[in-house]
Structures are given as structure tokens and as C-alpha cells.
Amino acid sequence: MSTAEPEEPQDTSVTLAEREAMFRNTFEHASVGIAHVGPQGQWLNVNRRVSEIVGYPREELLKISFQDITHPDDLNLDVGLLNEVLEGKRDTYRIEKRYYHKSGRIVWVTLSVSCVREPGGEVAYFISILQDITEKKRISRALADSETRFRAVQETNPDGFMILRSLRAMSGEIEDFIWEFVNPAAEQLTARTAKALVGKRLSQEMPEAFTRGLFDVFCKTVETGQPWQREIYYPQDREPRWFHFTVARVGDGFAVSFQDVTARKQAELQLQANQQRLRTILDGVVSMIGLTTPSGTLLEINEASLRLTGAASEDLIGQPMWEHPAWSHTPAMQDRLISAFSKAKAGRRMRFDAEIRDSRSRLIPVDVQLAPIFDEAEQVTDIVLSAVDISERKRAEAHREMLLGELNHRVKNSLATIQAIAAHTLREASTLESFRQSFTGRLRAIAASHDLLVSTTRDSADISRLIRDQVMGYAPAGEARLELTGPPLVLGPQGSHAFGLILHELATNASKYGAFSNDSGRLSINWCVEEHEDEPDVIVDWIESGGPPVTPPTRKGFGSVLIEQSLAHSLGGKANLTFDPKGLKAQFRFPVRR
Amino acid sequence: MPKILLVEDDFLIAYDVKVQLEDAGMEVVGPASSNEDADALIQPGAVHAAVLDMDLGGVTSFPTASRLKDLGIPFVFVTGNDQAELKGSLAGSAVHTKPVHFPRLIDTLKNLTASE
């Protein structure tokens, strides 16, 4: 800066006085503060702006020195530089310094100092230019504070936090993002250092953001300003993790905050699974379970009830339980439930059997319970209604009763049969001993038929077993003299019973008079099935040979009546006996399945 | 000689009842083993009374009983089911349980046919 006076303008049309005035006005009305300061610091001349900056009227200011109103922390610097100018070491200096405003507050200024020297070099006076920078200082301080605070927050923030700015193509479209900031938590969660990320492209460092659709989310947030948050699952090999993401626009870019919520998520999932399990159990075991208010308004109902009645939960919740279609089918059932609810409301636990109606209008017998729930004050707060399907139990009960009745009936019938056998065996017996033999033989024949029915599939018996059971005991040398030929065949209960007794009668006859009464007779039994339109018949041939010569009986006894007539009577079958002298022949025909 | 219709599906029991009644001086019509067989035997003047097994292999003899009742022919039920309950028009019919006590059955039949 020059230390000389400005050169005289060449324009002669302006008078000296006018120039003088122009300089004075320039000095006075400049937008910066201008002051002439003496070598000791006393104000020699100040313009209006200086007064405004420091708050002192010109007259007051001219009575003091700049040192009087300079902030003590800036005084040494200012005075030191001033001294250097005084000593001739420098001609100018420029500093930022603080003055005390007359009001006591601090004002910041940029101070530019130059000087006018005497011909000998001593400083005649200083020229000081003051610019008020208090506002600028305040803003930059605030900015610095905010920056410091932001960094402090992000240093300690347990959530990951990153800022990325958009990288746009010529068309203006976002093509990538570049990291601007990464906090320590983000470093830890991403296992990358801030250094490694800041300034780098998202596409290069985390390409998975593109494949997972996050890039599109980021773009949308930047373009619309709409914040976005979501929980995202990272199925990593060893430890799958859940992160909660929040994305918000920051300038032409975005900030993303994320935290590891795996523990919470796992707890949630566990809870869900537990509830689901409980629900499954309730749905599976109980036909109907519902929670109601004390007055019977439905609050919640299980899935099974909805399936059962085909109703939607929205249609039922908030309605009285007895309006539920399962209960509203008969006024009596509805009244029963209403009365049970009024007792449960009074605190009584109710239990009764009822019938509820399902979606196909079937009535299902259920065991109903109403359990009141009490609060600390012993007031009923809710009622739990459960209805357990007891169809199985009812069926079992009915079945047992039916079986008992059937058993009773059969026993009585068996006794009647035995009564008949006893009566007719007795009629024909010549001695008590012969009665005993015949009677016990016939009893055992009935018993054997019964055994067979019980031991094989219920109510049916295999014909070859029936024959063996009834005949084998009378064949002297076992199977050598007995031949059975025929397909596997299962007879019905009536057929087994009637034909079993016939076999017994034939076998005892054979052992007394026929093929089994000597050493050489043989018996062959053949059977086959004859199919008919309605039901198949079995045809059995009984052929004795090699026994003593056969003569027709002179009188028909109980045995032969039974052989010839019982199939016809009970089963509509046929019996045909031929008293061939070479051996007895008999043919039987009766329905297989009856 | 009173003619007694016998309806009983079990051959041995039917045979026994038949022989017992014949020994007591009655004529047995049948035995029939089903309602259909019985139907064919019920002719005017052919039957004076009847003995009916209540259970004919799973079906009841109630149709035959009703027909007899309509014709004014008296009958006696015989059953192994002593808890059998007779309802409607058949309520109050005579019931003998199995095994049959023959002297009593024969007495009953004689009383029912006394006017013949």
C-alpha cells in the first residue's frame, strides 16, 4: 500500500474546495469504518461507520484510545503489530479482532491498518479500516459448533449412520452414490472403515445394494424426499441378521441410519411361533373356544370354530355368543346358552352337554364349559367358552350299548338253542351215557363255530378251518383218510353256524356207522362257488367211501332233520342226502355271505 | 286242533318249539324264517294264533305282528332281548323270553285259542 497522498486529479474543472468536500464525504459515508489513529493509539478522526460499529459517538471516541475498547485477548497481537509498524519493520497489517461495544457486547472486525509517515520515517498517523464481521463470525461459529456436535453424536451413536451424495449422469439421472460420511457404528456393522468408503462409489463397494433393490429405494428417497424405513433380513451363512433401515434425503443425497435388530426380531419370531403353536393346539384339540365379555359379547374366537361353522370372524366378533350360527339353530339351545352366560357372569363355572350346528347343518354333541375370569377385586372380567367335540365318546357309548344288547340277545338265543339240542338229544338217547356223549359233542360243535367267528375276521369264517375243526376230531388217522379240495372261501356268520352243526352231525355219523367206523374208509369233501346275479352260493360235496355198506335209516332222528332241513330253513339253502351202499353222499348249497 | 303259526329264524329253536307244541296237541304252521315266508302262510282259517321270534336275523317280526293284529289273530312274541320295548299299536303284546318256558308258552297259546 502506498504511503503517499493520492495524486492530484488532472481534472481542472473541479475546484479544490469541491475535491476537499468529495474526500470528506467519501470518508464520512464509506460503508466501512475508517479512522485515523495516532501513534499512541488515540483516535484522531473516525467516520460514522466506526461509531456505529463500536457504539460510541464520535466525540466520546476521540477522547479515548483504541486500546481502551479492545478485547484484552486481542490487545497484545494488535499492539505488537502496531509497534512493528512504528519501528519500521512493516507498513501494514490486517487482523481479525474484537472490540467491546459500548453496550458491553463483543464486536468482531477485520482491521486493516496502514500508515502515513513523516519525511523522517516516523509514523505520523495510522489509517485503520474496520469491517464488522460479527454476524459472519457468529454463523461460522454456529456452523463449527454444529459440525462438532454432529461428529460427537455420530461418534457415540450406536446406530450405523452414513451420508451419501448423488452422482448424476449428464441426463440428470442418479447413476450412483458416493460416500461422504460413515460413523464408527457403521464401520463396525459394515466391517469397513470410513476411510475405505468415503469418496467411493456405492456400486463398487456394496454392489448388493443394487441386487437387493436398495439402490432404487435410495433414488426414490432422494427424488421425492419421502423417508423410507424397513426391516431387512440378511441371510448370512453363519449368523443370519435383521437390520432396521431408515433412509432420509439430505441435500442431493441421503442419510441412512441402520441398526442390528436381530435379537429383537428373533424374540418376536419366537413369540409368534409360540403363539402359533398354542393356537394350533387350541385349534386342533378343541372344537370351539372363544373369549367373551361378561355379558357374552364375543371378543375372540379360534380358527376351528370358524371352520366348523363356515362364518367369518368379522361377522361374529362383537356379537353375542348365542347369535353364533352354531348356537342359534334351536331356540332351546340358545336359551340354554343365555342362561349359562348369566350364571357365569355371576361368577359360576358352568358345564353342560349341548349340540352345536356346523356349516353343513350337522349337529355335533359337545361338552361346553363357561369359565369366568376374575380380576383382583373378584369381578368377572371375561368369560372363556370352550366346546369340546364328544361325538366319539357318544358314538362309543352308543356302540357299547348296542354291543351289550346284542350280546344279551345272542346269549339268550344260544341258551334257547342249547335248550332245543338238550331236549332233542334227550328224546333219542337210550342211556344217560349216550345222552352225555351226544349232547357234549353238539355243544362243542356250537362252541367251535363260535370260536372260529371270534378268532377270524368278525362274523365270518374260513370254510376249510370250519371243516377241520368239526371233522378232524373224528377222523381216526388224521388227514390220511380225509381229503379237502376247494378254493379259499370265507363264509358268513349264519352259514358258518348252521353248516358247522351239519358237519358235526355228519362226522359223528361217519365215526359211528360210516367211513370212519372201520380201518379203511375215506372221506372227501369238495367245495366250489357258483356265482349268481344276486349273491354267490357255495356247493359242498360230502363223499364217504370204503366204509361198511350203507343202509338207509329206518327213522329220521334229530341229527338227520338238522342235516336235511336247517340250511333250507335259515338260509334258503338245499341239502341232498344219498344213501349209496358204497358210502354216504351229501350235497349242500347255501349262500356264501350270509 | 288249534293251528299255530311259528315264525323263528333259528332252525334248532324252531324245530324245538314245533316239536314241543305238537307234543302239546297243536298243529304248527311253518316254521317260517322271515316275514315274507310268514305272509304266505297266513290264510283265512289257516292260523288261530302265532308265536313270533321278535328278531329275524336283523329285522323285526313287527310287520307280521301288525298283520296278525289287523286280522284279529292273537300272537305271542318270543325274544332273547328282555329289554325290548314295544311301542305304538304293538304295545302290551304278550312277550316270552328265551330260553322259552314251554309249559307257560303252551298255557298262553291254549288260552288264546280256547274259543276256537
Write out pLDDT tens, residues A175-187.
999 999 999 988 9
Beta sheet of A522-530, edge-to-edge order: A482-485, A522-530, A537-545, A583-591, A574-580
Question: Does residue A312 or residue A440 have the better pLDDT?
Answer: A440
pLDDT of A351 > 70? The answer is: yes
Q: Which of A279-283, A542-546, A575-579, B97-101 shows the lowest per-residue confidence on average (mean pLDDT)?
A: A279-283
In chain A, positions 493-522, which contact chain B (CB-CB < 8 Å)?
494, 498, 501
Nearest CA in chain B to A405: B81
Of the candidates A409, A498, A561, the beta carbon closest to that of B15 is on A561
- Give the model confidence (pLDDT) of A5-50 as tens digits: 555 555 566 788 888 888 889 999 999 999 999 999 999 999 999 9
Asked if A419 and B16 come within 8 Å (Cβ–Cβ), the reply is: yes
More confident residue, A273 or A60: A60
Contacts A422 to B, Cβ<8 Å? none
- Chain B nearest CA to A416, separation (Å): 4
Residue pair A296/A320 in contact (Cβ under 8 Å)? The answer is yes
B98/A413 Cβ within 8 A: yes
- Contact criterion met (CB < 8 Å) for B83 and A498: no
Residues of A in contact with B97 (CB under 8 A): 412
Name which residue leads in pLDDT, A448 or A173.
A173
Residues of chain B found within 8 Å of residue A420, distances taken between Cβ atoms: 12-13, 15-16
In this structure, how many other beta carbons lie within 10 angstroms of the beta carbon of residue A563?
23
Per CB-CB distance under 8 Å, the chain A contacts of B57 are 494, 570
A93-100 vs A106-117, strand pairing mode: antiparallel
> Choosing among B7, B8, B9, B11, which should be mutated to test the A contact, i.e. which has the most A CBs within 10 A?
B11
Lowest mean pLDDT among A355-359, A447-451, A577-581, B37-41: A447-451
**Are the beta carbons of A569 and B81 separated by less than 8 Å?**
no
pLDDT for A404 equals 81
CB contact under 8 A, B55 and A409: yes
Mean pLDDT lowest among A117-131, A301-315, A341-355: A301-315
Q: What is the mean pLDDT of residues A267-284?
A: 77
The pLDDT mean for chain A works out to: 86
Identify the pLDDT of residue A5: 54
Helix (H) or strand (E) holding B53: strand B49-53
**A495: Cβ contacts below 8 Å, ≥ 6 apart:** A538, A571, A590, A591, A592, A593, A594
Residues A479-503 have a mean pLDDT of: 84
Grid coordinates in use for B40?
304266505
Q: Which residue from B13, B55, B57 is facing A417, i.e. has the nearest CB?
A: B13
* Residues B79-101, mean pLDDT to the nearest whole number: 78
Cell of A436: 352225555
CB atoms closer than 10 angstroms to residue A138: 11
Within 13 A of B84's CA, how many CA atoms are on the CB side?
26
Handedness of CA A569, A572, A573, A579 (dihedral sign): positive
Q: How far is B115 from chain A (nearest CA, A)?
A: 30
- Structural element, H or E, at residue A500: helix A493-512
Which is higher by pLDDT, A489 or A405? A489
Q: Are A129 and A123 in contact (CB under 8 A)?
A: no
Give the position of cell 293251528.
Answer: B3
Q: Do B83 and A412 touch (CB under 8 A)?
A: no
In angstroms, the CA A123 to CA A126 distance is 7
How far, in Å, CA of A67 to CA of A60, rounded?
A: 14
pLDDT of amino acid A106 = 92
Contact A569 B33 (CB under 8 A): yes
The percent of chain B in helix, strand and coil, each rounded to the nearest 5, is 40, 25, 35
Q: Report DSSP letters for A508-545, one per residue.
A: HHHHHTSGGGSSS-EEEEEEEEE--SS--EEEEEEEEE
φ/ψ of A7, rounded to 5, equals -70, 150
Provide mean pLDDT across the span A436-451: 85
ipTM of the shown complex: 0.82
Give me the total of CB pairs closer than 8 Å, taking one residue from chain A and one from chain B. 73
pLDDT-based confidence at A1, cuts 50/70/90?
A: very low
What's the CA gap between A376 and A366, in Å, rounded? 32
Give A151-205 as a DSSP string. HHHHHH-SSEEEEEEEEE-TTS-EEEEEEEEE-HHHHHHHT--HHHHBT-BHHHH
Is B10 in Cβ contact with A417 (below 8 Å)? yes
User: A437: exposed, middle or buried (C-beta count within 10 Å: 0-12, 13-18, 19+)?
Assistant: middle
Chain A residue numbers with beta carbons less than 8 Å from the beta carbon of B10 are 413, 416-417, 570
Measured from the Cβ of residue A197, the count of other Cβ atoms closer than 10 Å reads 22
Is B82 close to A408, i.e. CB distance below 8 A?
yes
- Does the CB of A424 have a partner CB in chain B at under 8 Å? yes
Distance, in Å, from the CA atom of A255 to the CA atom of A244, rounded to the nearest integer, reads 14
Please check the confidence at residue A473 and state whether its pLDDT lies above 70: yes
pLDDT of residue A6: 54
At B83, is the pLDDT very low, low, confident or very high (cuts 50, 70, 90)?
Answer: low
Phi and psi based region of residue A427 (left: phi greater than 0; alpha: psi -120 to 50; beta: remaining): alpha
Out of A412, A421, A566, whose CB is closest to B98? A412
Q: Which residues are registered as beta bridge partners of A353?
A: A367
Is A232 in the B-facing interface, judged by CB distances under 8 Å?
no
Residue A410, chain B, CB below 8 Å: the answer is: yes
Per-residue pLDDT at B93: 82
Q: Which residues pair with B44 in a beta bridge?
A: none
Instruction: Tell me the residue ranges of DSSP E strands in A460-505.
Output: 461-462, 482-485, 490-491
Cβ–Cβ under 8 Å, residues A256 and A246 = yes
- Binary contact (B100, A416; C-beta < 8 A): yes
Q: In the predicted model, is pLDDT for residue A237 greater than 80?
A: no
Question: Does the pLDDT at position A55 exceed 80?
Answer: yes
